[in-house]
Structure 1
Amino acid sequence: MSEPHSFPVTVYYEDTDMAGIVYYANYLRYIERARSTIVEELGLDQRAMREMDIVFVVTRVEADYVSSARLGDRLTVQTRHYAKGPVRWIFEQEVLRGDTLIFKALVTAATMSTGGKPMRLPAELRSRLGG
């Protein structure tokens, strides 16, 4: 499993509902941005992968809403990840305000062809994922 990756998030007005609380679906956006940053930092060029007919697709999200974030909060998305076999990539993600857990998710992504068929990630790329 990887060392924790940190991704900062500031809660803006557009992220909230009328009560100033983060709209529930926006947590999925926050964790997606963190995963996209990890992919980039690992040197995986998703445009080049697409040209090789390989894309990442989220196949499962298990989410727990623990507390609420509010307008102006500064949050951190902490992510640990690991490859699970030749096709799946697992992410354990938490959204924190300081030391307070706000949201957590277990996300499974898979590699597929652009036509939607499961596809093995080449070994050289899979080694970057920790598997």
Structure 2
Amino acid sequence: MSDKNITTSHFDYQLRVYYEDTDAGGIVYYANYLKFAERARTEWLRSLGISQSFFLEQNLGFVVRRVEMDNKASAKLDDLLTISTTVKQLKKASLTFEQVITNQEGTLLCQLTVLVASVNLQRAKPCAIPEQILGALTSAL
């Protein structure tokens, strides 16, 4: 498979900001945006019929290799966030996601570009994305 630059529809995942996500002032701690983005990517895969347990059964994992994060504004306690996830590039052994986090007013809070690599967990080495998973990813794009 050759590298594929993709223009695709996005996947939206919503979550509420809870007290555990914030500092004493009710503002979301910056590292929690990474957790929110991870949840959105996981739910996108789940929507394609690919669960985390399936990855483990295959001795496979998608590990984050690179993250670029640009914080624009702060989320606050009780905000309803939408994490929009778009696949920008699909390679033999990696995926690049662009993710945008907004609040209920549509205010842009955070933009992320995340590169995940396919890894054989037993050997802790990069590996090609298995055909079954690749097929599900390609059909969704």
Q: 1:82, CA displacement in angstroms?
A: 4.5
Q: 1:51, CA displacement in angstroms?
A: 2.4
1:103 equivalenced with 2:110 (yes/no)? yes
* CA 1:76–1:22: 2 relative to 1, 3 Å: same
- Write the mapping of 1:1-131 to structure 2, written as runs, cut at 5 A: 1-97=7-103, 98-114=105-121, 115-130=123-138
Q: 1:65, CA displacement in angstroms?
A: 0.5
Q: 1:81, CA displacement in angstroms?
A: 1.2
Residues of 2 paired with 1:14 and 1:49: CA distance? 28
TM-score, L = length of structure 1: 0.92
* CA 1:13–1:45: 2 relative to 1, 3 Å: closer
Contact 1:31 1:77 in 2 (8 A): yes
* CA 1:75–1:45: 2 relative to 1, 3 Å: closer
Residues of 2 paired with 1:85 and 1:30: CA distance? 24
TM-score, L = length of structure 2: 0.86
Residues of 2 paired with 1:34 and 1:76: CA distance? 9
Q: Which runs of 5+ in 2 are unaligned?
A: 1-6
Contact 1:65 1:103 in 2 (8 A): yes
Q: Which runs of 5+ in 1 are unaligned?
A: none
1:41 partner amino acid: S
Most deviating of 111-120 and 79-88:
79-88
Work out the percentage of aligned pairs sharing the same amino acid.
37
Instruction: State the secondary structure of the residue aligned to 2:134.
Output: helix
Instruction: State the secondary structure of the residue aligned to 2:25.
Output: coil
